[in-house]
Structure 1
Amino acid sequence: MTDRQSAHATFHLERRYPCPPGRVFAAWADPRAKADWFSGAGAVHELDFRTGGREVNRARRADGAELVFESWYRDIVADRRLVYTSTLTAAGALATVSLTTVEFHPDGDGTLLTLTEQGVYLDGGEQPAWREQGTGAWLDALGAHLRRTADATAGRAA
């Protein structure tokens, strides 16, 4: 018999970005921009960004097992807030179910992004610390995307 276990955790992350909330929000809403910072090499990303819409990211672990991260957007307030629910399956087994809120706050000339995630982690398929670390890494990747696109925009204006 397989040992069944569940762990619950909540984490809160903040990042400051040197651009207005509308630009940070747009990097979340545009399918090409989101795939640039959210999906890894070789991943397949789909985004239907609207209330009730779905996002799916499919990737493979080093051992070949498929990872599927699927989200449903429950609330979208342009330039201000996102609320979505997600599941992560690993090799066909449900690993996590989560509720995430992302808020975009004006911060001087930039944006303070706050992300709060509440999750249940099932049967050891994922650990809360792994999820928090991975989420922090993709928020950092969002920052890198925003810098790259600002540099490209500045180069075109010159």
Structure 2
Amino acid sequence: MTVLHSTFSLERSYPVPPERVFAAWADPAAKARWFVPDGTHGLDFRVGGTETVDARGPDGTVLSVVSTYHDIVPDRRIVYSTTLSGGEVLATVSVTTVELHEENDGTRLVLTEQGTFLDGAEKPQWREQGTGDWLARLGDALK
């Protein structure tokens, strides 16, 4: 039984105002397009609301992601906690902060995640890579 703690931050710049970036997180249909390429997605975007993703991993394992929103400041900040399970096994628990900063004619997004990784079921570098991938898809969706 092992526990690994890890924190990472990713920054991305998007050539649209913070209101557009925030809307891409807040609107269920918009978020589903860039956040969940395969699987099912549900989003109740409000403080206390939840987001769910059900998908399959590369090996066919059923993946279940459940997030709860704790702080939402429109066009500025989103804070949520997430559990990720593979099958019946809890793999990670994390807290994520998304900050949106107006910069020139666009938005600088800063995402910081603090994670607890349980029993080697997921690795921090996998999470960081996957998060970077969906931030790239967000950029494509904002074009």
Does the TM-score normalized on the shorter chain lie above 0.5?
Answer: yes
Bigger radius of gyration: 1
What is the CA–CA distance in structure 1 between the aligned matches of 2:64 and 2:83, rounded to whole Å?
8
What is the CA–CA distance in structure 1 between the aligned matches of 2:42 and 2:102, rounded to whole Å?
29
Counterpart of 1:143 in structure 2: which amino acid? G
* Residue equivalent to 1:151: none
What is the CA–CA distance in structure 2 between the aligned matches of 1:120 and 1:40, rounded to whole Å?
25
Structure 1: unaligned runs, 5 residues or longer: 148-158
Structure 2: unaligned runs, 5 residues or longer: none
The 5 A counterparts of 1:72-151 are 72-147=68-143
Identity rate, percent: 59
1:67 aligns with 2:60: no
How far off is 1:62 after superposition?
Answer: 3.2
* Residue equivalent to 2:7: 10
What is the CA–CA distance in structure 2 between the aligned matches of 1:145 and 1:58, rounded to whole Å?
21
How many equivalent pairs are there?
A: 143
User: Hey, which of these two has a bigger chunk of helix by percent?
Assistant: 1
Deviations for 1:83-134, whole angstroms, at most 9, x for unmatched residues? 0000000111000000000000001110000000000000011000000000
1:19 maps to which of 5, 16, 19:
16
TM-score (norm 1): 0.89
What is the CA–CA distance in structure 1 between the aligned matches of 2:108 and 2:58, rounded to whole Å?
34
TM-score (norm 2): 0.98
What is the CA–CA distance in structure 2 between the aligned matches of 1:124 and 1:79, rounded to whole Å?
36
User: Hey, which of these two has a bigger chunk of strand by percent?
Assistant: 2
What is the CA–CA distance in structure 2 between the aligned matches of 1:35 and 1:143, rounded to whole Å?
14
Counterpart of 1:21 in structure 2: which amino acid? P
* Residue equivalent to 1:35: 32
1:13 is paired with a residue whose SS is: strand
Q: Report if aligned partners of 1:24, 1:146 keep a CA contact under 8 Å in 2.
A: yes
Moved over 2 A (4+): none
* Residue equivalent to 1:57: 53
What is the CA–CA distance in structure 2 between the aligned matches of 1:75 and 1:62, rounded to whole Å?
32
What is the CA–CA distance in structure 2 between the aligned matches of 1:143 and 1:72, rounded to whole Å?
24
